[in-house]
Structure 1
Amino acid sequence: FKALLFLSAGALIYSLHHQHNIFKMGGLLKKLPVVAVSFAIGCAALASLPFTAGFVSKELILAQVVASGHTGLWWAAILGAFITAFYSARLFFVVFLGKTQLSPNAMPTKSMSLALVILSVLSLFGGIAPEGLKTLMPQQDAEGLSTLHHWLPIILPFIAISFAWWMFKTKRFGKPVASTYMQAVHRLLKSGWAFDDIYQTIFVSPFNTLCQLNKDDLIDSFYRLIEKTSCTLHRTFSQFQNGQLRSYNASLIIFCILAFAWFISGELIL
């Protein structure tokens, strides 16, 4: 289903003048129906809604976490599942149900649509094992799951989607933040938790500094010598290509004289 989401996003960007900002999209449900349905299926699988491939994989992972006795990790996974379902729903609501701002300038090709249909089917039914539908809803006592451990992961995505729908209908997505504290939080989240700045400081800047210090080593000097030699030869021989007929005639005469002199000198030696 992740491949489905990536391909759906690619088809969407392809159809919208290569636009990447979701808040400049909207109202695309009827204009791009194949992309919209595949996107909805991908988001549903990513949110781990029941009877999707994502639900099966999430259930197995959470059951193993419970069996290992790491309660804290289980709650962290539940929180992550809630956030995932929320932003998946927000993405679909804003892009396909929001106010129309940008009309498609191209439709997905037949090969794109075929790939989306195939991946959609796999995202819906890929978790069904040969044993049948019972694999979609495993027995509660299979891993010693309590009622909370079994039902909370099932109910929570629907709560997250409902919350995202409420925020969408009340036009809270994309709304400017008034609080100074929340503005700082928004900047932090928008910067990707400042990971780009951290990588720039820790890795990129020191690497660039080392490159600047090492730019005059023997290997670079050798290649720069080749570059300068090529440029010098280019400037020298390009003077003969000046578009003036008298220069071409003079060059021809000079080379003929040199060739004749070389021929005569060779004859004299022999």
Structure 2
Amino acid sequence: MFKEMHDLFRWAWLIPALPFLSFLLIAFVTKRSKGLSSTVSILAILTALGLAVAIGLGIIQSGAEIVEHPVIVSANWLNIGGLKINFGTIVDPLSAMMLFVVTLVASMVQIYSLGYMHGDKGWSRYYAYQSLFASSMLGMVIATNLLQLFIFWELVGLCSYLLIGFWYFKVSAREAAKKAFITTRVGDFGLLLGILFLYNKFGTLDFTALSAALSTSLQNVAVVGTAGYVTVMAFLIFMGPMGKSGQFPLHVWLPDAMEGPTPVSALIHAATMVVAGVYLVAKMYFLFQASPAALQFVAGIGAFTALFAATIAIAQDDIKRILAYSTLSQLGYMIFALGVGSYSGSMFHLMTHAFFKALMFLGAGSVIHAMHEKQNIWDMGGLWKKMPITGWTFFIGVLAISGIPPFAGFWSKDELLANALQNGHPIVYAVGLFTAFLTAFYMSRLFFVAFMGPEKPENHPHESPWTMTIPLIVLATFSTIGGLAALPSHNFAFFIHFGEFEPEGMNWGLAGISVIAGLLGMGLAYYIYIKKAISSESIVARFPVPYKILKNKYYIDELYLWIIHNIMDGLAKVLYFFDIYIIDGIINGIALLTRGSAKGLRRMSTGQLQTYAMVFFFAVVVIFMVFAFGEGQFSSLNPLAMLGGVK
């Protein structure tokens, strides 16, 4: 069976190639025809989805053999001296899962955009960017080496810049695009250093070869001192995911990315840019496993980000920003799961999160579309009756992210929480459990206020067109049953596994505790915002300082601006004055001295024969007088006398 699937896997390159081809066609051929541009883009991504499904089914049928023997197809791209770089494709369970998730979400987003972006002047440009974005992420997923991955990694960053700033006539959109691009570049600089250090140490960037070389080096750790070097490289590599996946303190760009069209937010937050960092850590997991210190750091950053973002979300009022901080928190879950050794739990949660987060962002877009661009949840209310499809599907997303069975989030979140406790990380488990309570609370708060709150008479919402509701139904279906795929009885579990496959059953005791935490969070939100047993205004009035801190996101953005304006700008001024008055002063002083000396010497060199003859004549006269009257008043001028010589 595996040999029969091998030929299919060799065609994986078509999956990123098809949307890239659609990008070229839209950019150079169909850009003047809106209908043709969207048709080309959607057909390309749907065809890619079909290929991804076929490869995924092939992975399932191949069973454990594909885990041990991934299919790699590559060709030499660069060969200079000792540097040899291949470009190709790798098909293994992890890449197959990512291919399916990215193409599914991208397909739903592009179909949804037919309704949401209707009438937009940049229609063709929008679909061209969408195609390039999907192609870049898919190219990154099947990369066989770090250099190839880094090229597509940077293309993903470029596409996020283009799409976040899609409405470039808005100042806020332009600034958000620049903020995202610059912030992620900070992390990418560390990633690039890590790639260079890896090549310097092991002489290869190929994932398979790196894994083998690292294993060999660690066996001689006492001789070559590899352990410390590996830790440094792991930290540098992790800087890239910290930026792309919005981990503290490089998280500040992600909430502002909401300035782009809502379908863009769904694509960025669910299946492309932000999960690229998680995917990279998973792809390089052999490196992190070799450094316990690096894994501890990853777990700590992930747990802190999960809790940090969740606390901010409970005080936000913009529907998209609540979802943005929810994404940050869920990314923290995925990162700390990798840090505590729950590789399968992290990848499983990446997959299920893509389903329900894309669902909720598109649901939010449906609400914004119906509310004529209003985004504050307190301006909404009564949407459940007016928008039943959007309401029911959004509620499924809330149940999934809250970890309520049998929805997808229950299976993935409980697996990574259980692994955190069982692998000896009780503090991380406690943080994750409390974050699960907060997640259920703030997501239920959003739903109860926007959909079940009092209807506003000035609003006249209506259900979205079928182009927007069909993707909601599809994603709601996956958010409902998607978690069942990883049950031990299914070969689907190969999708999210690392190393030797050993199916494990659910720890129902720990699962029950996390479900109770989710129900308590939902119950508290219902008690405050539906039953009105406690006034939310009274809570704010009683705790004004904590509320203000959370509302203003711990003033991290303000702190960064203060550092930029006072420390960085101040240092720049000091360096400027040092350059002008010290460096330039010395250089200009030498130049002035040289120029002054030249002016003096120039006066002595007139170029006139008469002047030279007169100078020569007077010189001869002076010398004659010195020698002729050496005994007299000129004796002091006699050079021989001064030297004590013969008179």
**Distance 1:213-1:4 versus aligned 2 partners, 3 A rule:** farther
Equivalent residues of 1:23, 1:174 under 8 A apart:
no
| Closer/same/farther in 2, CA of residues 144 and 165 from structure 1, 3 Å limit | closer
Corresponding letter in the other structure for 2:399: A
CA deviation vs aligned residue, 1:26-77 (integer Å, no higher than 9, x gap): 1111101111111101111111111111111101111221221111110110
Match of 2:474 among 101, 118, 123: 118
C-alpha contact 1:27 1:95 (8 A) present in aligned 2 = yes
Q: Is the 8 A contact 1:14 1:106 kept in 2?
A: no
TM-score by length of 2: 0.30
State the Cα distance separating 1:170 from its structure 2 match.
1.4
Question: What is the Cα deviation at residue 173 of structure 1?
Answer: 5.7
Tell me which moved more, 204-213 or 103-112: 204-213
Percent identity between matched residues is 32
Change (3 A) 1:207 1:5: farther
**Which residue among 537, 543, 549 is the counterpart of 1:175?**
537
1:22 corresponds to = 377
What letter corresponds to residue 390 of structure 2 in structure 1?
V
- What are the within-5 Å matches in structure 2 for residues 90-129 of structure 1? 90-101=445-456, 102-105=458-461, 107-129=463-485
CA apart distance, 1:197? 1.0
The reply to whether residue 53 of structure 1 matches residue 408 of structure 2 is: yes
Root mean square deviation of aligned Cα: 2.9
1:200 paired to 2:561: yes
How many residue pairs get aligned? The number is 206
Secondary structure of the residue that 2:524 maps to in structure 1? helix
- 1:68-147 equivalences under 5 Å are 68-101=423-456, 102-105=458-461, 107-129=463-485, 131=489, 142=504, 145=507, 147=509
What is the CA–CA distance in structure 1 between the aligned matches of 2:571 and 2:358, rounded to whole Å? 39
The residue type equivalent to 2:419 in the other structure is Q
CA 1:56/1:188 → structure 2, altered by over 3 Å: closer, same or farther? Answer: same
2: CA distance, partners of 1:212 / 1:26: 52
For structure 2, the 5+ residue unaligned runs are: 1-355, 494-503, 576-647
Q: Tell me the equivalent position of 2:255.
A: none
Structure having greater relative contact order (Cα 8 Å, sep ≥ 6) = 1
Higher helix share: 2
Q: Using a 3 Å threshold, how does the CA distance of structure 1 residues 144 and 60 change in structure 2: closer, same or farther?
A: closer
Mapped contact 1:67–1:144 kept (Cα < 8 A): no
The CA deviation string for residues 180-233 of structure 1, in whole angstroms up to 9 with x for no partner, is xx111111111112122122223477667789999xxxxxxxxxxxxxxxxxxx
Q: Does 1:154 align with 2:515?
A: yes
Q: What is the alpha-carbon distance in structure 2 between the residues aligned to residue 34 and residue 209 of structure 1?
A: 55
Residue 3 of structure 1 aligns with which residue? 358
**Take 1:12 and 1:144, find their aligned partners in 2: how far apart are those partners?**
37
Q: Deviations over 1:142-191 (max 9, x none)?
A: 479583x2321122211211111111211646525333xx1111111111
Distance 1:146 1:39, change over 3 A: closer
- The two structures have a TM-score, normalised by structure 1, of 0.67
Mind listing any 5+ residue stretches in structure 1 that lack a counterpart?
Answer: 136-141, 215-270
- Between the aligned partners of 1:126 and 1:189, the Cα distance in structure 2 is 33
Q: Distance in 1 between matches of 2:566 and 2:505?
A: 49
Distance 1:26 1:209, change over 3 A: farther
Alpha-carbon contact 1:66-1:145 (below 8 Å) kept: no
- Give the equivalent residue in structure 1 for 2:78: none
Q: Distance in 2 between matches of 1:212 and 1:6?
A: 44
Give the structure 2 partner of residue 166 of structure 1: 527
